[in-house]
Amino acid sequence: MEALAVTDILSLQDYEQQRSAIRMRMNALRQLRRMELSDACVVIFENRETVRFQVQEMLRVDQSDHPDRIALELSCFNLLIPRKNELSATLILRIPEYRDVDNTIKRMQGLTRGCIALLVGDDRIPARFDVEDESLFCTGDVFYIHFAFSDAQIAAFANPSVPVRLSACHDHCSAEVAIDGDTRGSLLRDLF
């Protein structure tokens, strides 16, 4: 999937005029791509459009649409756009009480060690985290993950008779959630 360029981002004025329609469309897309793994973990699969929306919202909050500022945001956010044969996602740890942030994050240590995976038929595709486990307790409650597919795994993902699931096997986040229907179709488009 092609990275975003500065020219792909609307000016603040243009975005404000279109924001209501864009938000409605993006909320529906993000809901379709949102997977609840447990009370502790949520995964939202990202693509070019979800990332563009996040950048537009960041620039709106900052009230800046200077090309240098846009380029800076894109240098970070483009890392979320899946590459060919890849899905990418944001993993959010739910922390019910702000005072529990440190304890919750410490309880989730080990999450980066193959605990999150996509199961495509009999194949297990582990998530690659953008952090090392040792730094997990320092980085916060949002993580970026990537799933790299082989061509055979993409073919299996495209076959509706092959079950696909998002899986977590951590003491504090353990579940399997089926990925099918419109969600699966949306994610399949990201793989090409």
Per residue in 152-163, pLDDT (tens digit) is: 999 999 999 999
In the prediction, which pLDDT does 132 show? 58
Per residue in 127-148, pLDDT (tens digit) is: 998 765 545 444 467 889 999 9
In the prediction, which pLDDT does 137 show? 44
Token couple for 41: 């973990």
Supply the DSSP string of the chain, one letter for each residue.
Answer: -PPP-GGGSPPHHHHHHHHHHHHHHHHHHHHHTEEE-SSSEEEEEE-HHHHHHHHHHHHHHHT---HHHHHHHHHHHGGGS--TTEEEEEEEE--SSGGGHHHHHHHTTTTTTTTEEEEETTEEEEPEESS-GGGHHHH-SEEEEEEE--HHHHHHHH-TTS-EEEEEEETTEEEEEE--HHHHHHHHHHT-
In the prediction, which pLDDT does 40 show? 73
In the prediction, which pLDDT does 140 show? 60
- Bridge partners of residue 126, in order along the sequence: 117
Strand 41-46, strand 164-170: pairing: unpaired
- Which pTM value belongs to this model? 0.88
Per residue in 58-84, pLDDT (tens digit) is: 999 999 999 999 999 999 999 999 999
In the prediction, which pLDDT does 96 show? 63
In the prediction, which pLDDT does 73 show? 93
Mean pLDDT over residues 95-103, rounded? 63
Mean pLDDT over residues 165-177, rounded? 82
Yes or no: say if 16 and 60 are a contact pair by the CB < 8 Å rule: yes
Yes or no: say if 120 and 162 are a contact pair by the CB < 8 Å rule: yes
Per residue in 21-47, pLDDT (tens digit) is: 999 999 999 999 999 987 778 999 999
